[in-house]
Chains A and B, each alone.
Chain A
Amino acid sequence: MRRFQSRLIDGSMSVVFAFVAVLTVILLLGIFLFLVFNAVRALQTIPLQDILLSANWNPVSYTKPVWGILALALGTLIIVLLSLLVAFPLGLLTAIYLSEIASVRSREILKPLIEMIAGVPSVVLGLLGLLFLAPILANIFQLSNGLNALTASMLVAIVTMPSIASLCEDSLSELPRGLRDASFALGAGRASTIIHVLLPAAKSGIAGAAMLGLGRAIGETMIVLMVAGNSLSVPRSLFDAVRPMTATIAIEIKEAVTGSMHWSALFVIGLILFLLTLGLNIIVDILVRRRIHT
């Protein structure tokens, strides 16, 4: 009897756990469906090229509302590229240090510290950008105002860097010891080993890290909300004020009446962001056969 009871419980528990696990799939699907459901009104009414190819975003226009997201997308692009330009080398070199150069004790201390950077809320970085970085950069570059793509990118680089460093470090430390030993045996120095042997061996992991950083930078909202300058024009230089897609959603969603065209158009932007990060994640999956990583 006891045996039967415990087998019954065992059977039911496995159902429960499977059910819970499936929840994540349902959640992701649900998010996608909700985005589509709310975006469909705009997608059906506004011609696609007016959305994707027009640089005029003016939902509450004096004359006629226009829904072109090109300027917003370019804003996202310029910030993402600029921040990756800084975060990727920084993250990679730090990862190399952690994995190949640091002593065990240094690594024990440094790894958590770098993780803590990931824990800094982006609103805090935005605040520090407002208070310190923007005036400093305005001074250095003789600008009248430090709220622009450059300032925002530097701060976004700070939030992006820990994920890149973490994934690169994992990729490097997973490489078999034999690689290093063989390289040293052939007489190569540490730096040559790293550059010519290890990095190429870990290249898919490193590329994956870059993609992950890209996704993180695309999704950053608070920093760009506070320091990117919020101008709707197409960015022509690093020093222009921009308004990326994420900031647009965060700013305008609250003034949109549920179900209105404005509401729907913002969901279109949300859908685009969702698909972008989904696509990047799939690429990372292909590149890096990794265990569940954040």
Chain B
Amino acid sequence: MRPSRVFVFVFVTALLSGCATPTASVVPVDSAGTSVVIQGSDTEVQMVANLAEAFTADHPEADMSVTGGGSAVGIAALINGVADIANSSRQMTEEEVALAAERDIDVQEFIVARDGLAVVTHPSNPMKELSLEQIGTIYDGTITNWKDVGGPDAPIVLYGRQSTSGTFGFFRDVVVKADYSRDMRQMEGTQAIVDAVVADKNGIGYVGVGYIKDQSANDTPTLNVLLVRSGESEGASPLDREAVLSGKYPIARAIYQYMPSLPAKDSLAHQFLLFEASEAGQALVEESGFYPMTVEDAAQNKVLFDAIQ
């Protein structure tokens, strides 16, 4: 046959065969078996990876994978059906829960830790304290120079996270209460914010307290952790455990994990959650730079555990 006729024949065959739909699904999410796929918050990723590492030491048959990317990534993965546990440093919104429900996903919430979000500046910056409202107006772009809040005459360089981040969403909803300034440099992860503010004398950033826990122990800190005051109360530091757990520090939050359904009793996911809530797990949580869950958090988790039994 002449090649050109072959070509036409083949082309048509290929087009037609391309219309056939594939049948088997290659990768069902295996929440009852020996693998747990955890995805989501970058704030949590180090801590959860530490927890997974410790957990696998006791459960060598467990196959865990932990990826960051941001809380929104984890939530999307959950809704898309590709993650067993979504780490999220903010609560899922009603729209997200509804979207999940549309896809037959019954979202379950678990609180694994508490966090204080620190607002940091360069050590050479003389500012020591700011009010919540001031931080909000700085981040929405209304205030652009340090002198407008009592600092030196220098432009403020804003560092924040990307929209994939739960910290991004949480900080915006609780502190900024408006859209961020477009000039804010959206860094890939909390570490990138830390690195940037360490190098930038006019910078300001928000980071989970776990990333700066070494600062108080340092003689020559590389970052300046601002005291934040809200309303009439005096400024509190995120490094102050009492202030964070009691709510005196205004930018405090629970750290969540979401499941697409109630984990099966004694499944790997169930055991992992139990481990996280245990003393050993919570000790690891603190070592990783977070604060342990409060009594109320534990009570909410207990409701979840009871439902599993």
A and B held together in a complex:
yes
| Interface residues of A, Cβ cutoff 8 Å to B | 11, 14-15, 18-19, 22-23, 25-26, 30, 56, 58-63, 71, 135, 138, 144-145, 147, 225-226, 229-234, 241, 243, 251-252, 254-258, 260
Which 4 A-B pairs have CB atoms at the shortest separation, nearest pair first?
A255-B72, A233-B182, A255-B164, A254-B73
Contacts of B135 in A (CB 8 A): none
Contacts of A59 in B (CB 8 A): 163
Contacts of B264 in A (CB 8 A): none
Contacts of B203 in A (CB 8 A): 144-145
Mark B169-196 against chain A: 1 for CB-CB distance below 8 A, else 0.
1001100111101111111100000001
Return B252 CB to nearest CB of chain A, in Å.
21
Residue on A nearest B93 in the bound complex, by CB: A60
Contacts of A138 in B (CB 8 A): 199
Q: Are B188 and A225 in contact (CB under 8 A)?
A: yes
Asked whether A145 and B199 contact (CB < 8 A) given A225-B188, A230-B186, the answer is yes
The contact of B14 among A23, A62, A260, by CB within 8 Å, is: A23
Q: Are B7 and A18 in contact (CB under 8 A)?
A: yes
Contacts of A18 in B (CB 8 A): 3, 6-7, 10
Return B113 CB to nearest CB of chain A, in Å.
22
- Complex A-B: 29 CB contacts under 8 Å: A11-B1, A14-B1, A14-B3, A14-B6, A15-B1, A15-B9, A22-B14, A25-B11, A26-B14, A26-B15, A62-B172, A63-B179, A144-B157, A144-B200, A145-B185, A145-B203, A225-B188, A230-B188, A231-B183, A234-B182, A243-B186, A251-B186, A251-B188, A252-B163, A254-B69, A254-B70, A254-B73, A255-B76, A255-B164
Within the assembled complex, what's the spacing in Å between the Cα atoms of A77 and B176? 31
Residue on B nearest A11 in the bound complex, by CB: B1
Q: Are A62 and B6 in contact (CB under 8 A)?
A: no
Return B45 CB to nearest CB of chain A, in Å.
13
Q: Known pairs A22-B7, A144-B200; list 11 more (Cβ under 8 Å).
A: A23-B14, A62-B178, A71-B182, A144-B203, A145-B185, A230-B185, A231-B186, A243-B186, A251-B162, A252-B164, A255-B72
Return A233 CB to nearest CB of chain B, in Å.
4
Return A257 CB to nearest CB of chain B, in Å.
5
